Amino acid sequence: MKILALDTSGLVASVAIIDEDTLTAEYTINYKKTHSQTLLPMIDEIVKMIQLDLKEIDAIAVSGGPGSFTGLRIGSATAKGLGLALDKPIIHIPTVDGLAYNLFGVKDLICPLMDAKRNQVYTGLYEFNENTFITLEQQMAVGIEDIITKINEMNRSVIFLGDGVTPYRDIIIDKIRVPYQFAPAHLSKQRAGAVASLAKIYYDKGQIESALSHQPEYLRLSQAERELKEKNEKSNK
């Protein structure tokens, strides 16, 4: 059973192939080139390197959001195009879940933080209980202080990771009241290897969708929709 996994939700572009329980290839870059230019050449590179016939892939896993709207769509459109052409299903992995899965097996609370701009983070809370991955708080867009308050209330040690750590580091250090750590560089950003491992669990449970119906989960309205909604709410008052 082979899964091709992609993550283009943030600045990182990452692709991986998992074959049963073996990660046969993983390629991650964090560079200024756009995902549109890097993603397929990266896939092509690992496919060639492990001499894979694309037709052998059983499913395409994609980190389906939240994240950069455009980044998500490049990943999703690529997954949908591959799914259509190869007639394979898609496995939609919530981006924040995929990030948390980088820290498999840790005893602490896991808190991924993605910079969502507009003073918000995409985040969630996770733990491993006897190696079972448990979602305590589903992925959401909230203010950094809201999630820190929640962690303080839970009164447990926590590990932070993700690209939201850098912009919010000072606020975290200032507000956090429980023991905390920041994940090191090799675990702190999106990795398609983690998306692929999680996708295998989804696949075994039959949690797949068609390439036709797959679309990203933005967790946010577009600016125009938000403004229209606010305007309507105001006029209803």
Question: By CB under 8 A, is residue 230 in contact with another protein?
Answer: no
Q: Among 77, 142, 154, 187, which residue interacts with another protein (rule: CB under 8 A)?
A: 77
Question: By CB under 8 A, is residue 39 in contact with another protein?
Answer: yes
Question: By CB under 8 A, is residue 155 in contact with another protein?
Answer: no
Closer residue to another protein in complex, CB, 132/235 = 235
CB of 202 to another protein, least distance (A): 20
User: How would you class 137 by CB atoms within 10 Å of its CB: exposed for 0-12, middle for 13-18, buried for 19 or more?
Assistant: middle
Question: By CB under 8 A, is residue 37 in contact with another protein?
Answer: yes
Question: By CB under 8 A, is residue 13 in contact with another protein?
Answer: no
Restricting to residues 89-118, name those near another protein by CB under 8 A.
none
CA atoms of 21 and 200, how far apart (whole Å): 9
Q: Among 3, 74, 91, 113, which residue interacts with another protein (rule: CB under 8 A)?
A: 74
DSSP string spanning 143-165?
-HHHHHHHHHHHT--EEEESTTH
Please, are residues 190 and 7 in contact by the beta-carbon 8 Å criterion?
Answer: yes
User: Could you report how far apart the first and last alpha carbons of the chain are, in Å?
Assistant: 56
- Going by C-beta distance under 8 Å and a sequence separation of 6 or more, which residues neighbour residue 147? 111, 113, 121, 123, 125
- Going by C-beta distance under 8 Å and a sequence separation of 6 or more, which residues neighbour residue 123? 96, 111, 112, 113, 114, 137, 139, 140, 142, 147, 162, 164
Question: By CB under 8 A, is residue 40 in contact with another protein?
Answer: yes
Size of residue set near another protein by CB under 8 A? 35
Q: Among 212, 229, 230, 231, which residue interacts with another protein (rule: CB under 8 A)?
A: 212
Q: Among 28, 152, 157, 215, which residue interacts with another protein (rule: CB under 8 A)?
A: 215
Question: By CB under 8 A, is residue 138 in contact with another protein?
Answer: no
Q: Among 50, 81, 107, 153, which residue interacts with another protein (rule: CB under 8 A)?
A: 81
- Give the range of 17-25, 30-38, 173-181, 187-195 binding another protein by CB under 8 A: 30-38
3-state helix, strand, coil in the chain (%, to 5): 40, 25, 30
Nearest to 159 by CA among 117, 119, 99: 99
Question: By CB under 8 A, is residue 228 in contact with another protein?
Answer: yes
CA atoms of 67 and 11, how far apart (whole Å): 9
Closer residue to another protein in complex, CB, 177/231 = 231
Closer residue to another protein in complex, CB, 76/120 = 76
The tokens of 78 are what? 């690529």
**Region of 29 on the Ramachandran plot (φ > 0 left; ψ -120 to 50 alpha; else beta):** beta
- Give contact residues for another protein (rule: CB under 8 A): 34, 36-41, 43-44, 54, 69-70, 73-74, 76-86, 211-212, 215-216, 218, 222-225, 228
